[in-house]
């Protein structure tokens, strides 16, 4: 559906559940997400991939490799928040950290938000004990908008300090 220099992005399919589980099945990933549970199970992955694709709030799986041997490396989405703002969220499989894939994936999602959804602003947040995600957002042009706030982390089973950011697009 979408491409970047190294990634192929598309909505999930029901047969993606095992790949999602394999890619996200690390507590170091899940603890930095707001709504994912820990431990993350096959049932969680099946529920995730079964969700209907919403073009107004796209959630896309990111694959690396050629058409014959693609590997799921992460997921990104644009979610409308209760206050009406649209928030960029993403995760990258631990085996692919440090390769610039989160920045590449985030840049493509910003393009979708701007060009297809005609948005003029995006928000994003990162738990302050995950500075790597903060660096990704800074590379994408996001700026801090306020002091850190407490946000729920389902995997941590507690609130955690989160730095909210925004980007005019």
Q: What is the mean pLDDT of each run of 10 residues along the chain (169 residues)?
A: 95 97 98 97 98 97 87 98 96 97 98 98 98 98 97 97 98
Contact 167, 139 (CB under 8 A): no
pLDDT at 49: 98
Task: Tell me how far apart the alpha carbons of residues 22 and 45 are, in angstroms, rounded to a whole number.
Answer: 9
Q: How far is CA 74 from CA 9, 11, 21, 46, 110, in A?
A: 10, 12, 11, 16, 16
Does the model's pTM come out above 0.85? Answer: yes
Tally of CB atoms within 10 A around 39:
9
SS3 call for 133: helix
Contact 136, 129 (CB under 8 A): no
Residues forming beta bridges with residue 26, ordered by sequence position: none
What secondary structure letter does DSSP report for 33?
S
Tokens encoding 80: 């409308």
pLDDT at 1: 86
Tokens encoding 68: 């014959």
CA 41, 47, 48, 49 dihedral sign is: positive
pLDDT at 66: 76
Contact 22, 73 (CB under 8 A): no
């Amino acid at each position: 559906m979408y491409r970047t220099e190294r990634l192929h992005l598309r909505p999930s399919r029901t047969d993606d559940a095992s790949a999602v589980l394999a890619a996200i099945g690390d507590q170091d990933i899940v603890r930095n997400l707001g709504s994912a549970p820990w431990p993350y199970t096959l049932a969680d992955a099946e529920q995730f991939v079964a969700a209907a694709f919403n073009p107004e709030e796209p959630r896309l799986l990111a694959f690396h490799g050629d058409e014959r041997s693609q590997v799921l490396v992460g997921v990104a989405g644009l979610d409308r928040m209760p206050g009406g703002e649209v928030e960029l969220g993403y995760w990258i499989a631990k085996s692919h950290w440090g390769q610039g894939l989160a920045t590449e994936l985030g840049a493509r999602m910003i393009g979708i938000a701007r060009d297809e959804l005609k948005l003029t602003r995006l928000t994003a947040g990162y738990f302050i004990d995950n500075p790597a995600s903060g660096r990704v957002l800074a590379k994408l042009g996001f700026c801090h908008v306020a002091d850190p706030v407490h946000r729920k982390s389902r995997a941590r089973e507690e609130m955690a300090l989160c730095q909210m950011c925004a980007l005019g697009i």
